[in-house]
Amino acid sequence: MMNYLKFYCGIILLISIAGCGQKEEARRPISEKRNSVLVNSVERNQTQLENEESLLSEYMKKNDQQSFLNSQNGFWYSYSKRLVKDSISPKTNDQVTFTYEVSNLKDSLIYSKSDIGLLTYIIEKEELLPVLRQSLKLMKQHEVIKVLTPSSLAYSYMGDKNKIHKNQPLIFTIELIKIEKQKYETYE
């Protein structure tokens, strides 16, 4: 009986060792459909962005009395009210109070400051539209800027399902009312 047990264990051991020596080749996808969908999506988004940037450029040419600066974050901005003397901009964890209004590229108001009201935001710690998040970091207390943005940094392909259409480039006029610097706690 013991010999049969040794024999079967030996066979199982040999089969296990023989099976480990074979390398199984990874399976490749049969269809390249997913890659083509992603490539098409990227191309469509690039074309959409180029079209929107062209519309924003046209707006800037028509409004050449305003000097628009490139933010390096994908939008352009111009100061409506600038405070050169004050050098304090919000940093991470600072709480800011601000308001803004939204217009289309024909300067027609979509949402007014009274529609939006006063908002508070803790820099880099809360959800906010990318264009607002980046714009607030460029500003100082009591400044007002006009921001031209492609839809990808605002309401994107969804719009706001109310007044802002999908893929609509927008103008934000942002007023930074107050900066409350982060209070550092000391532990003793």
Confidence of residue 26 (pLDDT cuts 50, 70, 90): confident
Closest CA to 74 of 126, 124, 148: 148
Confidence of residue 116 (pLDDT cuts 50, 70, 90): very high
Single-letter residue type at 169: P
pLDDT score recorded for residue 36: 77
The Cα 110–Cα 90 span in angstroms is: 27
- 42-97: pLDDT as tens digits: 888 899 999 999 999 999 999 988 999 999 999 999 999 888 776 788 999 999 99
pLDDT score recorded for residue 23: 65
Single-letter residue type at 82: R
Work out whether strand 170-180 and strand 119-122 pair parallel, antiparallel, or are unpaired.
unpaired
pLDDT score recorded for residue 30: 62
pTM over 0.85: no
Q: Which fold has domain 37-180?
A: Chitinase A; domain 3 (3.10.50)
What residue ranges do the domains of the chain occupy? Answer: 37-180
Residues whose CB falls within 8 Å of the CB of residue 120, separated by 6 or more in sequence, listed in order = 95, 96, 97, 98
Confidence of residue 29 (pLDDT cuts 50, 70, 90): low
